């Protein structure tokens, strides 16, 4: 696949990374592949702990000129020098986040499998829209986002789109022509060697 047509990689952190070891692991992954953006998908409500994690991971990313957004926490994005925010609730709060963070910040929105929510997020000023899961996750989880949704979006809508959730190398090959980004997280962090897992996952991109 030609470099200009190749989707970019969007890395999603684990919800509770061990900050004693994860920054080094993150650095190794960033050094192994060209990553466009990192989403800090951190769980919990302890703002001090979240802030410390954000500072540590931001330092690793910014040292390599990789943008960092944090999931949900607009205030933390502003206070800790992050590049923006990822909103898990679709179009809700996109305009509010933009007012707080300003025109240059990255504001993205996860819209599940809903074309309608994606269009609303784009109209509200989102810099990207994420749909997923693309592949099968745990038993009883949401139905996958339909391939036709990505095909339609990539043809009709200018707002960049992220395919995430349950990715496999076969899905990467299948979706490469109809998505702008692959959101990669649990697919590699659950592996014994995340770097090797990432390389295998993205091998179809060439």
Could you list the beta-strand ranges (E) of the chain: 8-12, 35-40, 67-71, 84-87, 106-110, 128-131, 161-164, 181-184
Q: State residue 3's pLDDT score.
A: 60
User: Where exactly are the structural domains of the chain?
Assistant: 3-205
Per the CB < 8 A criterion, the answer to whether 46 and 20 are in contact is no
pLDDT in tens, 140-160: 566 889 999 999 999 999 999
CATH of region 3-205: 3.20.20.70
Mean pLDDT score across all residues of the chain: 95
pTM of this structure: 0.95
Token pair of 19 as six digits:
């900050």
Band of the pLDDT at 139, cuts 50, 70, 90? low
pLDDT in tens, 174-203: 999 999 999 999 999 999 999 999 999 999
Per the CB < 8 A criterion, the answer to whether 17 and 28 are in contact is no
Per the CB < 8 A criterion, the answer to whether 30 and 3 are in contact is no
């Amino acid at each position: 696949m030609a470099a200009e047509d190749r989707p970019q990689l969007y890395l999603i952190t684990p919800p509770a990374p061990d900050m004693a070891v994860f920054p080094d692991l993150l650095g190794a992954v960033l050094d192994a592949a060209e990553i466009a953006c990192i989403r800090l998908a951190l769980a919990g409500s302890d703002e001090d702990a979240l802030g410390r994690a954000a500072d540590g991971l931001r330092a690793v990313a910014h040292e390599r000129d990789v943008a960092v957004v944090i999931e949900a926490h607009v205030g933390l994005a502003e206070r800790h020098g992050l590049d923006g925010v990822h909103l898990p609730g679709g179009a809700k709060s996109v305009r509010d986040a933009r007012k707080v963070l300003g025109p240059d910040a990255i504001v993205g929105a996860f819209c599940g499998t809903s074309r309608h929510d994606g269009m609303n997020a784009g109209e509200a000023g989102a810099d990207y829209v994420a749909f997923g899961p693309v592949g099968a996750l745990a038993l009883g989880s949401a139905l996958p986002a339909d391939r036709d949704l990505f095909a339609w979006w990539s043809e009709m809508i200018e707002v960049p789109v992220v395919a995430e959730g349950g990715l496999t190398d076969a899905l990467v090959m299948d979706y490469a022509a109809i998505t702008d980004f692959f959101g990669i997280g649990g697919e590699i962090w659950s592996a014994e060697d995340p770097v090797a897992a990432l390389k295998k996952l993205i091998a179809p991109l060439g």
